[in-house]
Amino acid sequence: MFELIRTNKRKSAGLIVVLGSLLMVLGYAIGLILSPDEPTLSYLFVLIGVIVWVVMLLTSLAGGEKILLSSARAREVKKADAPQLYNIVEEMCIASGLSTIPKVYIIDTPDPNAFAVGLKPERAAVAVTTGLMAKLNRDELQNVVAHEIAHIQNRDTLFMTLAGVTVGAIIILGDLFFRSMLYGGGRRRGGGGSNQGGAALMVLAVVMAILAPILARLLYFACSRQREYLADACAAQYTRYPEGLASALDKISRQATRHPGEIGKNKTLAPMYIINPLAARSRRAGWFSTHPPTEQRIKVLRSMGGDASLAAYEKAYQSIQGRKEAVLPPSARAATAATPAREATETGGGKAGTRKQWREVQDLLHKVDRYAVLACVCGMKIKLPPDYEESEVACPRCHHQHVIPPELLAVGALGAATAAKGKQA
């Protein structure tokens, strides 16, 4: 596991270097196109690109987590506010060997989803929506948190932030270039006087200026998909219960397909969620998708065959893809190739018996605990689930129409969100 973190860090540094050089090449190409006669101007554009990059990097290093969390309207909770969620986060820290417990945030929205931020484990945070807490049972919630903790532990949160910032700088530079071509580029081209070699170089520069932003994006998305697979595999290894993550992903994607929801409106955050709310529908892995297709992630998790090790995940992935293509880095597979299957089958395959039943009862009790109770004139007591979205309810016995008082639903954290939504509608 520690070897895995090391290779991840090394690979991340490599990719940042590649993206950074792409940025500089783009700057040079732009300078060349805009003024073929003055080479010094080319370096000016390289400088502009680097300055944009550095400024963006420093902003994200200084407080990127805070910006992201507040843009998601997440609020921090302590153990007393959400004991079960907090406990689950603690459990997954222990299972993953993460030394510091990340901060826990809750987002008030009925859409089930979760994400993690943090450039270092010491500054990391996990955010889940109230919808996720209402719709998943304890085991499923645990697996979702495990996936997010895996992102923190594998330093994906660091890497994706840095890569995202670099790609952003490349896109900004490309955009700047096209705007300047549109408004001022025409005048200069009349100058003429460039020889044959210069013309060839010019064509190359134009191609480069068009291709660089696209290339950077493709690279970024490919890495993002890879990291999602790795986080899924690690989650299965932490919880030893791949089925929990599979059914959680199933529930989240079903909900997201029905309506993209409010969290889909924030385009910056969308790729960071466990399932991208903008692309929950997609069935095929596109070149521009940030996550692998959910259906496939579920399928891989369900065909691990009672073994929760990373090697088993790799095998399941290959049998589903039908080709020998590694999805996890070699260090990950080597490090856990010997995870005893005994443990995987013991807790992963057959969580049967009293313990499971006890858990189900507890889940049920926790759920019922959050239900709002409405008394009808006919003596019927109507129990409203925490994710009830209508503002009215009909009594099942006497069909009397009740308007739900908002303070009734405001009992739990989720109730508050639902009540707010009711007011908007």
Partner 1 sequence: MEWIIVLVVVVALVLWVVGLYNKLVRFRNQVRNAWSQIDVQLKRRHDLIPNLVETAKGYMKHERETFEAITQARAAAMGAQGAAEAAKAESQLQGALSRFNLVVENYPELKANTNFLSLQEELTSTENKIGFARQFYNDQVMQFNNLIESVPTNIVAGMFQFTKSDFFEIEEPAERAVPKVSF
Which CB atom, from 141 or from 208, has the smaller least distance to partner 1? Answer: 141
Q: Give the torsion sign (CA, 7, 145, 225, 166).
A: negative
Catalytic residue from among 148, 243, 262, 314: 148
Using the rule CB under 8 A, is 354 a contact of partner 1? yes
Using the rule CB under 8 A, is 294 a contact of partner 1? no
Select from 21, 87, 194, 321 the one that contacts partner 1 (CB under 8 A).
87
Using the rule CB under 8 A, is 74 a contact of partner 1? no
Using the rule CB under 8 A, is 373 a contact of partner 1? no
Which CB atom, from 96 or from 290, has the smaller least distance to partner 1? Answer: 96
Select from 196, 325, 338, 423 the one that contacts partner 1 (CB under 8 A).
338
Q: Report, in Å, the least distance between residue 91 CB and partner 1.
A: 5
389 is a catalytic site residue: no
94: CB partners within 8 A, 6+ apart: none
Which CB atom, from 343 or from 390, has the smaller least distance to partner 1? Answer: 343
Among the residue ranges 28-36, 172-180, 261-269, 346-354, the one whose residues contact partner 1 (CB under 8 A): 346-354
Please, is 318 exposed, middle or buried when counting C-beta atoms within 10 Å of its C-beta (0-12, 13-18, 19+)?
middle
Nearest CA to 158 out of 15, 302, 284 is that of 15
Half-sphere exposure of 44 (CA within 13 A, CB side): 9
The amino acid that residue 250 corresponds to is D
**Contact between 173 and 26 (Cβ < 8 Å):** yes
Q: Give the torsion sign (CA, 227, 23, 289, 319).
A: negative
Using the rule CB under 8 A, is 83 a contact of partner 1? yes
Q: 164: phi > 0 → left, psi -120 to 50 → alpha, else beta; which?
A: alpha
Per DSSP, the residues of 368-406 read HHH-EEEE-TTS-EEEEPTT---SEEE-TTT--EEEPPH
Select from 358, 373, 378, 405 the one that contacts partner 1 (CB under 8 A).
358
Using the rule CB under 8 A, is 7 a contact of partner 1? no
Select from 43, 90, 410, 420 the one that contacts partner 1 (CB under 8 A).
90
Select from 10, 357, 375, 389 the one that contacts partner 1 (CB under 8 A).
357
Which residues participate in catalysis according to the annotation?
148
